[in-house]
Amino acid sequence: MPKTTYDWRVRGQRLTQIGVRKPQPKDDVILLPSYKERVLMEMLKLGLLAGEAMADAQTIKERTVATTITLSAAVLARAQELVACGKVVIPFPTQALVPPVIEGWRRFVDEPEKYKIGWTARLKGEIRRRPSSGWTRRDGTQRDDGVYDDKKQIFHFHPLLIPWLAKHAVEYTKYTHWLHLHVPRLYDACRATARTYAAALDAVLPGYSFYDRLCEEDSECLHRLRLLAYDEETAAGKGHFDISFLTIHIAESHPGLRMGDERTLFVARPGEALLFFGEKAERLTSGKVKASWHEVTDERPAGDTSSRCSAIYFGHIVL
Residues at the interface with Fe ion (CB under 5 A) = 242
Tell which residue, 68, 318, 66, has the closest CA to residue 217: 318
Kindly state the DSSP code that residue 175 receives in the 8-state scheme: G
Q: Which is nearer to Fe ion, 231 or 242 (CB)?
A: 242
Tell me the closest approach of the beta carbon of residue 249 to Fe ion, in angstroms.
8
Tell me the closest approach of the beta carbon of residue 284 to Fe ion, in angstroms.
18
Q: Which is nearer to Fe ion, 202 or 242 (CB)?
A: 242
Kindly state the DSSP code that residue 174 receives in the 8-state scheme: G
Helices (H), 120-269: 161-167, 176-177, 183-204, 210-215, 217-220
Say how many C-beta atoms besides its own lie within 10 A of residue 62's C-beta.
10
Tell which residue, 116, 140, 142, 117, has the closest CA to residue 129: 142
Q: Which is nearer to Fe ion, 28 or 242 (CB)?
A: 242
Phi-psi region of 47 (alpha: psi -120 to 50; beta: other; left: phi over 0): left
Nearest residue relative to Fe ion (C-beta): 242
Helices (H), 110-157: 113-117
Q: Which is nearer to Fe ion, 87 or 158 (CB)?
A: 87
Tell me the closest approach of the beta carbon of residue 312 to Fe ion, in angstroms.
7
Integer-rounded Cα Rg, in Å, for the chain is 20
Tell me the closest approach of the beta carbon of residue 295 to Fe ion, in angstroms.
8
Tell me the closest approach of the beta carbon of residue 62 to Fe ion, in angstroms.
40
Q: Which is nearer to Fe ion, 60 or 227 (CB)?
A: 227
